[in-house]
Amino acid sequence: MSPDLSPGVGTGAESGRSPGVVGRAGQLLASSRPLSWVNTAFPFGAAYLLAGGSLDAAFWVGVAYFLVPYNLLMYGVNDVFDYESDLRNPRKGGVEGVVLDRGLHRATLWAAGLSNVPFLVALLLWGSPTSALVLGVSVFAVVAYSAPRLRFKERPFLDSLTSSTHFVSPAAFGLALAAARGAEVSLDRTALAALAGFFAWGVASHAFGAVQDVTADRAGGIGSIGTVMGARTTTWFALGAYLLGGALLLFLPWPGTLAAALVLPYVANVAPYLSITDEDCERANAGWRRFLWLNFLTGFLVTQLMIWIALR
């Protein structure tokens, strides 16, 4: 994502000017949050291969789908229906999201829908009823988070659960698709511990992300896990969920158990904000920005651990 994008600067959001073709394409791409592409593509690919899948067409199509179209559907729909609140959000305009020009809203929704269709058709044809169900839950969670009327993002606690589903469901689909294509996959202790640990991590991350917006969300009449519990309690909740995620990963067989240690940087990132108040909730933004980069370090370490497991 271009770091120099900011609300009303080069976006046409406040200037009254329509961005050019390059600017429109850049906004559309930025709306998919390139910084977060790996957070959904990697879980799918890793789960598919660890479950016994190969580097076949289903793998590459699945990785490509969860890399870009899935994220455009997730974040593009969000940018369209959060436009008014994004205009008032000083954090928008960098790695945390663009303010999508109003003239691009229709095009964004069409691009998100049309880019998803061919990938979904292929993945459904290659899969089974079980994998189709998992994929359906995944896509529904992505749309329901931001779409009007459903708006799961404004339903406290359901917001964190849905957000975590966005990142865990690609892994669950990877397992289901591998099984559909002949791999011997069983939901044993290892698979359940990995999915549950990842899910707790996702809940924690969303909850901590909501802390920085407690005051603004309350002022705007927007509900969230943060507005219900308050900044301090939500931060403690996030800490507990991170620790729970690490504890669940201890059930993995050696050396997978080492993955539990990867929760420690996230715990350290949250710890400075345990005494935060609603009035100074915005200072948690520094921790949230560190979190975005921590994901890359964690992904690298998980990859090394996977290679070690494969070599063993």
Contact yes or no for 121/54 (Cβ under 8 A): no
pLDDT means over runs of 10, the chain (312 residues): 29 42 61 78 91 91 95 85 58 55 75 92 96 96 91 91 94 94 81 91 94 87 90 96 94 88 94 93 90 84 79 66
Q: For 80, how many CA atoms within 13 A lie in the half-sphere containing its CB?
A: 24
Q: What tokens does 261 get? A: 């240690």
Q: Residue 94: beta bridge partners?
A: 97
CB atoms closer than 10 angstroms to residue 14: 12
CB atoms closer than 10 angstroms to residue 230: 17
pLDDT of residue 184: 83
CA distance 232 to 278: 7
CA distance 170 to 75: 16
DSSP 8-state assignment for residue 88: T
CA distance 36 to 47: 18
User: Which residues, 6+ apart, have CB-to-CB distance to 163 below 8 Å?
Assistant: 145, 153, 202, 203, 205, 206
DSSP 8-state assignment for residue 258: G
pLDDT of residue 2: 29
pLDDT of residue 272: 94
Contact yes or no for 125/131 (Cβ under 8 A): no
